Amino acid sequence: MNLRARIDLAVALAAVVASAGLGLLTWMDREDWRQHLPPRVLALLLIFLLLNRALHRLVRRPAREHSQALRRLALHDSLTGAVNRRGFMDRLAQAQQQQALLSLVMIDIDHFKRINDRHGHAAGDGVLREVAARLRRQMRGADLLGRLGGEEFALLLPATDLAGALAQAELARQALRREPMAIAGTVTASFGVAQWDGSESAADWLHRADLALYQAKRCGRDQVSLSGART
């Protein structure tokens, strides 16, 4: 029996026990209940009710933790631990509602197909994990790393203007190429940076950062390109 089935069974049992406990409490509210309960039976009923409360606590906690774990799995990339596209877009929209100063960095690993072809897909997965780890080490406390698909990552930078985002992107670029990876040698990436203009949609903002990323690719890769203001 898997964890979800065990939790469902425990919840069902707790509901039955709780129903029985509620029935007992209702019966005990009657004025004449003392006439029908010897002290020994009363003690057993009190023990039963205490066990019922303890069971509820034991069941609710793992069920809540299991629900949180399922939500995390739904919003995170299992390979790199970064937020997945769905989770990243949700957080992007939330940030737009809460803050006015935001910047976005799009990141694409250079020649990733060549890495897969030359070293194999297992090595490619290792590169993705290492890239995510190196990007994460350059992040500040409020920054968010997302893997949007394939070899494409993104950084959401709260309270950061275009100049600050450029500096963060450059730190990340240098961190990726500074030390060769054991599985694939030197790995580089291209970066596109865009500051939110305060009114555009998340999709439009992401598109501007993507255009800046493609500009970095066209200009030779392994560099950071800035997006201009929306026109």
Domain range for 191: 85-226
Residue 231 lies in a domain: no
Q: In this structure, what CATH number is given to the domain that contains residue 178?
A: 3.30.70.270
What's the pLDDT at 200?
95
Residue 174 lies in a domain: yes
For residues 108 and 66, membership in a common domain is answered with no
For residues 103 and 203, membership in a common domain is answered with yes
For residues 107 and 206, membership in a common domain is answered with yes
For residues 164 and 143, membership in a common domain is answered with yes
What's the pLDDT at 31?
47
For residues 190 and 114, membership in a common domain is answered with yes
What's the pLDDT at 26?
52
What is the full per-residue pLDDT of the chain (231 aa) written as tens digits? 554 554 454 444 444 444 554 455 554 555 455 555 566 666 676 777 777 777 767 666 665 555 555 565 678 999 999 999 999 999 999 999 999 999 999 999 999 999 999 999 999 999 999 999 999 999 999 999 999 999 999 999 999 999 999 999 999 999 999 999 998 999 999 999 999 999 999 999 999 999 999 999 999 999 999 997 664
For residues 129 and 203, membership in a common domain is answered with yes
Q: Which of 75, 107, 136 is the C-terminal boundary of a domain?
A: 75
Residue 48 lies in a domain: yes
Q: Which of 75, 96, 129 is the C-terminal boundary of a domain?
A: 75
For residues 96 and 179, membership in a common domain is answered with yes
Is the model's pTM score more than 0.75? no
For residues 60 and 112, membership in a common domain is answered with no
For residues 219 and 111, membership in a common domain is answered with yes
For residues 58 and 104, membership in a common domain is answered with no
Active site (annotated) includes residue 152: no
For residues 18 and 113, membership in a common domain is answered with no
Of 31, 65, 130, 151, the catalytic one is: 151
Residue 80 lies in a domain: no
The domain total for the chain is 2
Residue 131 lies in a domain: yes
Q: Which of 75, 96, 127 is the C-terminal boundary of a domain?
A: 75
For residues 169 and 197, membership in a common domain is answered with yes
SS (H, E, C) the chain: CCHHHHHHHHHHHHHHHHHHHHHHHHHHCCCCHHHCCCHHHHHHHHHHHHHHHHHHHHHHHHHHHHHHHHHHHHHECCCCCCECHHHHHHHHHHHHHHCCCEEEEEEEECCHHHHHHHHCHHHHHHHHHHHHHHHHHHCCCCCEEEEEECCEEEEEEECCCHHHHHHHHHHHHHHHHHCCECCCECCCEEEEEEECCCCCCHHHHHHHHHHHHHHHHHCCCCCEEECCCCC
